[in-house]
Structure 1
Amino acid sequence: MRVVVIDYDGGNLASAAQAVRRAAQQAGLKATVDISRDPEHVASADRLILPGQGAFGDCMKGLEKTGLRPILEGVTAERALGGKGTPFLGICVGMQLMAESGTEHGQHKGLGWVKGHVKRMDGVEAAGLRLPHIGWNNLYFNQRHHAHPLLDGLEDGWHGYFVHSYALMGAEAAQCLASADYGLPIPAIVAEGCRAGTQFHVEKSQDVGLRFLGNFLRWKPGMHS
C-alpha cells in the first residue's frame, strides 16, 4: 500500500506521516508513507492524506498553487461508481477544505465535497468558552453510522485532540459520523463516498488517532453503503 501525505505548504506533514506509519505497523499492514506534491505520486497513491494547519484561505491557495486540486478531485471522484475512488482523509483544516466554503480571513470557496460552510465558532465565547478550542474533547457517534468501518473498534465518548477556532456549520447528518460539543455541536468526523475528514488531529490523539488511521488504511468504501 502506498500512502501519500500531500505537501501543499499546509503544515504538520511529518507528524501526520509518522502517525500513519505507526498506525500501519499497529494494524499489521505493509505500507510505504511518503510526503509529496508530485502529481504522479498523488495520482497513483492507494491512500491520500491532506493534513492542515493555518487559515482556510491560505491552505486552499496552497493546494491550488501546487496544481493538485484537479488531481485530487479526479482520483476521488469515482465514489458514485461503487466507491472505487482513492480513499482520502483530510485532517483539521484538511477536513475543512472539503466544505463548500470558508470564511476565515475572507470568503473562500472550498472543494464542495461535503455540505456546509466553515465559520468562526463565535457563539462559544458567549457561553464563557475560549477560542481557539484547544485540548481533548469527547467524540459522540451519529447512531445511524455506528457500524461505519472508519469507527471500528472506537467507542462513543472517547477523546480526540482539537485545535481550531473555525468549524463546519450546516453539515448534513448523513455525512457526519461523529461530533464533539464545545458550546455548540462540532462535526468531528465526516465522510462521503471515499472521502473522509476529521476536525480533530488524529496524529495527536494517541490510541484513538492510531485506531482511526488504521481503520482508514483498511477502509474499502465500496463495501459500505
Structure 2
Amino acid sequence: MTGIVDYNAGNIRSVERALAFLKAPYVLSRNPRDLEGCDRLLFPGVGEAKYAMEQLRATGFDSFLKDWAKSGKPLVGICLGSQIIFEHSEEGDVDCLGLIPGTIRHFSSVWRDSGKSAELLKVPAIGWSDLTYRNGGSPLLDGVPEHSDFYFVHSYIIQPAEPSVVKATADYGCDVPACVSKGSVTAFQFHPEKSGRAGLRILRNFVRDDLGGDGV
C-alpha cells in the first residue's frame, strides 16, 4: 500500500489520478498515524518551503518523515517535496527535514556562483526538459530511456552535499539535479504525475509490488 502525505501544500489530485490510472491502491491522509502501516510514501508538494515546513511541524509529519527515512522504508519526494527533504532552503531561509545533506538555492544564486550567464532564461523554470543519467541512474528510472522529457515547475534548485547522490540532471543554465537518491529516499524535482508515459513508468516502478502485469 502507498501512502500520500497531505500537508496542505501538495499537488495531491494529479498524484491521485496517476495512481488511479495505474490501479495502485493508496491512502491519502493529513494524519501521520493513518500512514504508519503503508509500505511506501509519496511526498508531493507545490508552493513555498517555509509555509510547507510550518505545515509539517503543525501536523507532526516532520518527525514522522524523519523516523520513516531512518527505518529504511521507501520515500519519494516530488517537486517541493523533493526540496524540503534537504537541510536548508533559501526560500524563506528555513531549516528543512535534513533527510539528505544539502541545501536548496534560487536559480539566480546558482547561476551567479557558477559564473554562467543565464539572463535569457525565465524563473520560475516552467516546461519540459530531458534527463541525462548520472552515477548509474536509479532503479525507479528502469524502463525510461535516457533523454526522456519531463515536466518541471520551480524557482529553486537542489544542491546536494554529495555529488554521488545525483542520479539524473536536466539543463537550465546549469546542471539541475532532477533525480536524487540516497538510501531509501528518492527525490524528483520534476512532476512524474504530469509527465505522460515516462512519468507513469516511474510511478509504476515505485508501486510495482502492488500491481500485476507489465502495465505502463
3-state SS in 1 of match to 2:41:
strand
Quote how far apart the aligned CAs of 1:153 are: 0.5
What 5-or-longer segments of structure 1 have no aligned partner? Answer: 26-30, 79-84, 220-225
Q: Which one-letter code corresponds to 1:66 in the other structure? A: T
The equivalent of 1:176 in structure 2 is 166
3-state SS in 1 of match to 2:36:
helix
The equivalent of 2:212 in structure 1 is none
The equivalent of 1:33 in structure 2 is 26
1:22, 1:172 → 2: CA distance?
35
What 5-or-longer segments of structure 2 have no aligned partner? Answer: 210-216
Q: Which one-letter code corresponds to 2:103 in the other structure? A: H
The equivalent of 2:179 in structure 1 is 189
1:175, 1:42 → 2: CA distance?
27
Quote how far apart the aligned CAs of 1:22 are: 2.1
Alignment of 1:62-77 (within 5 A): 62-77=55-70
CA contact (8 A) 1:125 1:131 kept: no
Q: Which one-letter code corresponds to 2:107 in the other structure? A: M
1:38, 1:77 → 2: CA distance?
19
3-state SS in 1 of match to 2:158:
strand
2:204, 2:161 → 1: CA distance?
25
Q: 1:131 aligns with which of 110, 123, 133?
A: 123
1:196, 1:188 → 2: CA distance?
10
The equivalent of 2:213 in structure 1 is none
C-alpha change, 1:206 and 1:100, in structure 2 (3 Å) is same
* Deviations, residues 29-77 of structure 1 (Å, cap 9, x unaligned): xx32121022222211111111111011111111111111111211221
C-alpha change, 1:171 and 1:160, in structure 2 (3 Å) is farther
The equivalent of 2:196 in structure 1 is 206
C-alpha change, 1:171 and 1:187, in structure 2 (3 Å) is farther
CA contact (8 A) 2:100 2:160 kept: no
Residue 56 (structure 1) aligned with residue 49 (structure 2): yes
Residue 87 (structure 1) aligned with residue 74 (structure 2): yes
C-alpha change, 1:171 and 1:209, in structure 2 (3 Å) is farther
Q: Which one-letter code corresponds to 1:103 in the other structure? A: E
Q: CA RMSD in A?
A: 1.6
**Higher alpha-carbon deviation: 119-128 or 176-185:** 119-128
CA contact (8 A) 2:69 2:99 kept: no
CA contact (8 A) 1:43 1:72 kept: no
C-alpha change, 1:125 and 1:62, in structure 2 (3 Å) is farther
The equivalent of 1:223 in structure 2 is none
Residue 107 (structure 1) aligned with residue 93 (structure 2): yes
1:39, 1:130 → 2: CA distance?
37
Percent identity (aligned): 37
For these two proteins, the number of residue pairs brought into alignment is 203
Q: Which one-letter code corresponds to 1:158 in the other structure? A: S
1:22, 1:187 → 2: CA distance?
28
Residue 117 (structure 1) aligned with residue 103 (structure 2): yes
The equivalent of 2:214 in structure 1 is none
